[in-house]
Each structure stands twice: as structure tokens, then as C-alpha cells.
Amino acid sequence: MVEVQFAGEPLMLPEGDTLAAALLAAGIDGFRQTPFQGVARAPYCMMGICFDCLLEVDGVSQQSCMVQVRAGMDVRPARQRWEGPYASL
Amino acid sequence: MHRFDLAIVGAGPAGMAAAREAAEAGLKVALVDEQPRAGGQIYRNLGRAAKTYGAQLGKEYLRGVPLVDGINHEAITHFSGHSVWAIEKGQLALNSPEGARQIGARSVLLATGAIERPMPVPGWTLPGVMAAGAAQIMLKQSGLAVENAVLVGSGPLLHLVAVQLLRAGAPPVALVETRQRRDSRRALLMWRLMLRAGRYVQRSLADLNELRNAGIPRYMASANIALLGERRVDTVSFSSGGRRRELSCDAALLHHGVVPHVQASRAAGVPHIWSATIQAHVPVCDSWGRTEVPRVWVAGDGVWIGGARAAELSGRIAALAIAHDLGFVHSPERDRRTSGWIEERDFELSLRPLIEKAFPPYAAALAPADNVTVCRCEEISAGEVRQAVRDGATGINHVKVSTRAGMGRCQGRMCAAALARIVVQESDAKIDEIGTLNARPPIKPVTLGALAGMARQAQRPEDD
């Protein structure tokens, strides 16, 4: 087991395990908020197809089912919430 | 840039077998796969898991051992943990945590395998709802058994995952199966195929027997399926046997068949046609796996769903054909070595119609009701897609630009089939007239930083 940061809190996860599976086993099920409805999503396919397990890992948005747990990694729910009209982007 | 005679995309049974055959024929081979270890989904994590939970996963899983061992060959470079994000003339663009890079290839074999047919039913976007295959992956990869699950849908994999969860000490709550009695009758009418498929039928019956002995309830001919819950799924609601039923659960595992994963073949420009048998778009190729795009070949479940054995054989066949094309093998040798493989592969492929008849997809999830989300990325409902067609959208790409369905990160992997069915249902067009979603690089996301790093690398002198 190694320590990682999840949403700013320390969390012990098995080193080398798939990040998505390790987080599910740790009882976490809100991986990202959808950009429009703002509802929680969690992994669906676990094989790199659906993108519902997106997390921000060390600052880069990634499919957490394709990432292995490493000591000290900084993991946050993916920032996707859309806050205004497209015209303002 | 490193150059290879053959670059293979996907290290499942087709890719691993092709890599070994090609290497033995004298080709320099790159085997590229997103996973840290070879095996694909069927033999996922085999190198490690065989010792620990091989018994729970069963004999079929252990069949992959020689294939995984076979890629240890001096002529094979295994790019593990690398995704392919572009396929262009003579080269592939790869991405990994270490950065992006390009490799040169005189020929490319796409062995990208199958994905589970997405199953859009009400509530399928709730946390706690997963594909049944996802539960199997967690078992193979992490030794985690999803507890207190209801398995929903149809197909041999639904039964297999139920058995594997049971053996792993997490007996499922129930199976909610969408098969109708007429599906079994239709399958029985194909009795000749049934006899030929003896090995598979036997295995399927053994799975059902194990579930029966464990007292796992199976609800047949289920319809009106909905997954309910506030923050996450806690109930599966459905009708079966003339009654409305509700089952409490901690997870719902959906499955109604598998389809070829065609994102790479689409992006490579290979033409695709609609298959009425497997109800999905499939790449067009000849018996060797050669496509209409020069130097691009396809093999395995990414072409036609045939299972691990057929995939392995089609990988070997394509490898020999490629070796012949590149001048490594004479045609008499190619033909002598592949004739038996072709015969056995075609036998395996011929069994498919039986499985499709016995376990058809859940009709209500092919063209879902208006309130169901079809595009998970952009949160577009079936009703919005129907409205776009009524407002004049004619083809699937027209629907994409008017609704954004299929425009999200998964690039339509999860919604393309539903979009196609809805467009056909709402218009007079036939399914092969409405087009397929355009797939363009990057077919997997790549950061600007990785791209910039690749550009810097390209300015340096050749490193090979």
C-alpha cells in the first residue's frame, strides 16, 4: 500500500493496481461531474472506452482505468463543470 | 524514428499470435498496447493472475499462457502502456506517460478486439452501474469481486461473469435476462450448428448448472428494465413473468453482446459495412485480413466476433499473409501453413449466428426510449436525437453536428450504434445509407505538451 492524495486528502491504495479499481475498492464512486447536468459519474467499462472514470492525475486529465497507482500521486475529480455560455469561452 | 516491418495494434490473442508468427518469419515487429501487460481483455493480466485466481477464472483463461509467453522474442518490441492516437501512411503515433513518439511501419495490423455492446437503459449512467465485462476485468486485474450485483441483459458472458463472481465469494443477487422463450426455439432450429458448437454449448450449460446449484435466481424474458437510485444505483426494476419486480443491489452489471472495436480501423480510413448478424459496423477485408487501405490489415474480434481461438488463428493468418507481401515468405509456404488455420477459423466464425440467435441484444436498448441518455459524454438523450432527425438531420454525422452526440471524449464508441438505429427508425433511410461517425486523430487523447515533446524529438537526428 502506498499513500496518494485524493481530492487533497491522504488515501492508502495498493501500489501498481489500476487506479480506478483501487478507488472503487476504497469506496469512492464519484469520479467526475458531468459538464452540463453536474451529476456524478463512475467507471463503466474499465477498459479505456467510455471515459467516465476521468480523473485529474498530477494535473493531467486521464482515464483512471488506464493508470497504475504510484506513491505520492495527486488525484482529483476531473474539472469539467461548464460555467457559462459558449460565447464567453 | 524506429522502423518496423510490422506494427500490430492490440496485444490480445490476435495481436500476440500475429507478433510471434511474423517474428518467426523474420519480420521486425512492434506490438503496441495500452495495457501494462499483454493479454488483451480475455487474457488480461494473465502473466500475474494465473497463479493467484486462475482457478476462479477457469480453464479458458489459462489457455492464453503460451500466447503471452510467445511474445518474448528478440524480433518483437512490446510497447506496453502505449496508446495509438494516429495511423498514417507508414507510421503510427503513440502516446505513453513518458511522452508521445512516432514509429515507422511497412505494414500495420489492427487487432483491436471487441468492446461490449453499450446498453443504454434508464439509469445506466448512475455510479454503481458497469458493464459486466468491467466486473470481470476488476477480477482479473485486481482480484476484486463486485458484491451484491444484479446482472442484467443477455449472452454467455453474463453467465460466465456470474459464475466467476460466485467462485470469488461474491454471489450475485440475481440475473435479469432479456432472452425470450422464442430465442431458445430459434437457436434449437439451428440444431446442426448446435451439434458443431458442442464444446461451447456444454460449457454454457455447465455455467448455468453452477448458478442453479448455488440458488442464484434467474428472471427470464425481462423487459421494461430501469436502474434506480439517487446518488448511485440501489434498485433494478423490471417486469418478468407478467409481474413488475424490484431487486435491491449495490451494483448493476449490464451486458448484451460484444461488437468489434472499430475506432482505429475507422480512423485509418478502412471502409465499414453494417452486419445484420452481429448488429454493428465491421471493417471490410478479405480472408487474409487485407483491407482496401494499402498496408493496413485487420484481424481478430475487431473484424468479426469469433472469440479467442478464432482471433488467435486470424492473427496467425494475417501475419503470414503480411510476411508474404513483404517478401519474407513464398506463397507455397504461406498457403501450406495457413490452410489448416483458415479451416479452423472459419469453423469458429460459422458458430456466431447461433450465439446471436440464442442471445439477441435487448431490443429496448438498441433504440432507447426518449428519456434515456445515449451519449454519455455530451449528455444527449435519445429524444434529442429523434428531434434532430425530425428537424431534418439526414445521416449520423448530421445528427452529430446538430446535437453534439458522438462529439465527446469517447468519440462515439458508446453511442454510435444507438445513433444509427434511431436515425433509421425515424427516417426512411436504410442503415447502410446513413454513414458512420467520422473518426479522426487523436483517437485517444494526447496532451499538447506530449505533442510539443514529439516535435522537438523529430528535429533531432535519427535514433536508429
Residue B230 CB partners (closer than 8 Å, separation 6+): none
The confidence score (pLDDT) of residue B128 equals 97
If one counts the domains in chain B, the total is: 3
A:B CB pairs within 8 Å: 86
Q: B115, A42: Cβ pair inside 8 Å?
A: no
Q: Which residue has the higher pLDDT, A81 or B326?
A: B326
- Judging contacts by C-beta atoms under 8 Å, the chain A residues touching residue B251 are none
The dihedral region occupied by B367, where left means phi > 0, alpha psi between -120 and 50, and beta the remainder, is: beta
Say how many CA atoms lie within 13 Å of A17 toward its Cβ: 23
The confidence score (pLDDT) of residue A69 equals 97
Q: B410, A36: Cβ pair inside 8 Å?
A: no
Indicate if B88 and B23 belong to the same structural domain: yes
Question: How many CB atoms are closer than 10 A to CB B215?
Answer: 7
Indicate if B155 and B243 belong to the same structural domain: yes
Model confidence pLDDT, tens digit, residues B69-108: 999 999 999 999 999 999 988 899 999 988 999 999 999 9
The confidence score (pLDDT) of residue B461 equals 59
Closest-CA distance, A38 to chain B, in angstroms, reads: 10
Q: By the 8 A CB rule, do B19 and B318 touch?
A: no
The confidence score (pLDDT) of residue A30 equals 86
Model confidence pLDDT, tens digit, residues B330-340: 999 999 999 99
Is residue B454 one of the residues assigned to a domain? no
Indicate if B216 and B228 belong to the same structural domain: yes
Question: How many CB atoms are closer than 10 A to CB B411?
Answer: 23
Domains of chain A: 16-82 (3.10.20)
Indicate if B223 and B161 belong to the same structural domain: yes
Indicate if B198 and B126 belong to the same structural domain: yes
Going A61 to B11 to B280 to B435, the CA torsion angle's sign is positive
The CATH number given to whatever domain includes residue B249 is 3.50.50.60
Q: A45, B261: Cβ pair inside 8 Å?
A: no
The confidence score (pLDDT) of residue B460 equals 66
pLDDT, averaged across chain B: 93
ipTM rounded to 2 decimals: 0.93
Gap between the Cα atoms of B89 and B105, Å rounded: 9
Q: Which range of residues forms the domain containing residue B423?
A: 367-433
Q: By percentage, how much of chain B surpasses pLDDT 70?
A: 98
Question: How many CB atoms are closer than 10 A to CB B408?
Answer: 19
Indicate if B196 and B247 belong to the same structural domain: yes
Indicate if B162 and B234 belong to the same structural domain: yes
**Chain B contacts in chain A segment 63-82 (CB below 8 A):** 66, 68
Residue A81 binned pLDDT confidence (cut-offs 50, 70, 90): low
Indicate if B289 and B343 belong to the same structural domain: yes
Model confidence pLDDT, tens digit, residues B306-316: 999 999 999 99
Residue B197 binned pLDDT confidence (cut-offs 50, 70, 90): confident
Pick from B256, B272, B287: which residue ends a domain?
B256
Q: Would you list which residues of chain B are within 8 Å, Cβ to Cβ, of chain A?
A: 34-36, 41, 83, 115-116, 125, 127-131, 133-134, 137-138, 141-142, 144, 231-232, 261, 376-379, 408-410, 413-414, 444-445, 447
Is residue B234 one of the residues assigned to a domain? yes
The confidence score (pLDDT) of residue A26 equals 95
Residue A83 binned pLDDT confidence (cut-offs 50, 70, 90): low
**How distant is the alpha carbon of residue B328 from its chain centre?**
31
Is residue B193 one of the residues assigned to a domain? yes
* Averaged pLDDT, B186-215: 86
The confidence score (pLDDT) of residue A46 equals 97
- Full-model pTM: 0.94
The confidence score (pLDDT) of residue B181 equals 83
The confidence score (pLDDT) of residue B355 equals 86
Is residue B61 one of the residues assigned to a domain? yes
Question: How many CB atoms are closer than 10 A to CB B244?
Answer: 9
Indicate if B122 and B252 belong to the same structural domain: yes
The CATH number given to whatever domain includes residue B411 is 1.10.10.1100
Model confidence pLDDT, tens digit, residues A42-52: 999 999 999 99
Indicate if B105 and B141 belong to the same structural domain: no
Model confidence pLDDT, tens digit, residues B395-438: 999 999 999 999 999 999 999 999 999 999 999 889 988 988 88
CA-nearest residue to A13 within chain B is B142
The confidence score (pLDDT) of residue A87 equals 41
Indicate if B125 and B236 belong to the same structural domain: yes
| pLDDT above 90 (res B47) | no
Residue B291 binned pLDDT confidence (cut-offs 50, 70, 90): very high
Going B328 to B330 to B333 to B339, the CA torsion angle's sign is positive
Q: Which three cell numbers stand for residue B20?
A: 510471434
Indicate if B122 and B165 belong to the same structural domain: yes
Residue B417 CB partners (closer than 8 Å, separation 6+): B117, B118, B259, B279, B280, B281, B366
* Averaged pLDDT, A24-49: 92
Is residue B288 one of the residues assigned to a domain? yes
Gap between the Cα atoms of B202 and B192, Å rounded: 15
Is residue B450 one of the residues assigned to a domain? no
Q: Which three cell numbers stand for residue B329?
A: 515468405
Pick from B256, B290, B310: which residue ends a domain?
B256
| pLDDT above 70 (res A89) | no
Q: By percentage, how much of chain A surpasses pLDDT 70?
A: 88
Is residue B249 one of the residues assigned to a domain? yes
Residue A88 binned pLDDT confidence (cut-offs 50, 70, 90): very low
Is residue B107 one of the residues assigned to a domain? yes
Which helix (H) or strand (E) covers residue B282, if one does?
strand B280-283
